[in-house]
Structure 1
Amino acid sequence: MDNDYFIKVAKEYVVHYTNGKMTDKTPKNKITTKDVYVVWLNRTLQNNKALLSTTIEDGMYYEFTYNGDKDEFYFDAYKHENNYRIKHL
């Protein structure tokens, strides 16, 4: 799958998911694909994977995968819980 098309589909799905989860459905709170950014992207053979996030400060990030063998997409949503410094052991 072409990377540009894959990213387009991934961003659209994140928008759909995020807007569906929002408690306040007013138009000012809905996001668009302009509010979604790619943190990491990889293509290996016929497979694609991306980690995405949004401009909303909710601690969420998303994993979007395309399995080229089965022509299937997979979506995972994660909540960021912790971020702390670890000193050398």
Structure 2
Amino acid sequence: MDNGKFIDICKNEVVKYTNDHLDKTDGKQISSDDVYVVWLTKVLQSNKALLSTTLFDGMYYELTYNGDKNELYIDVYKKFENKGLVLDD
């Protein structure tokens, strides 16, 4: 699958997932304009991307397209902390 089509599919899946899991009482919904690609790769017939949204919820989404099986997988993660560490030589 070409990268453009893959990104469109990924953004739509992230929108669906996010809107399904937002608190309905807030009345907030996102669109594909609120989703951005952090990282993208294509190897042979498979694609993988990391995406996030403009929401301040710490969520990110890993989508993988298995070209052999024509299947799309989504893994959803929440970032809790980004901590810098000094490594000893």
TM-score, structure 2 normalization: 0.94
2:51 and 2:34 mapped to 1: Cα distance?
Answer: 10
Q: What pairs up with 1:1-89 in 2 under 5 angstroms?
A: 1-24=1-24, 26=27, 29-89=28-88
Structure 1 residue 9, shift from structure 2 partner: 0.3
1:67 and 1:85 mapped to 2: Cα distance?
Answer: 34
Structure 1 residue 88, shift from structure 2 partner: 2.2
1:56 and 1:4 mapped to 2: Cα distance?
Answer: 23
Number of aligned residue pairs: 87
Root mean square deviation of aligned Cα: 0.9
Amino acid at match of 2:23: T
1:66 and 1:88 mapped to 2: Cα distance?
Answer: 36
2:31 and 2:6 mapped to 1: Cα distance?
Answer: 17
1:88 and 1:75 mapped to 2: Cα distance?
Answer: 33
TM-score, structure 1 normalization: 0.94
Indicate the SS of the match to 1:83. coil
Indicate the SS of the match to 2:24. coil
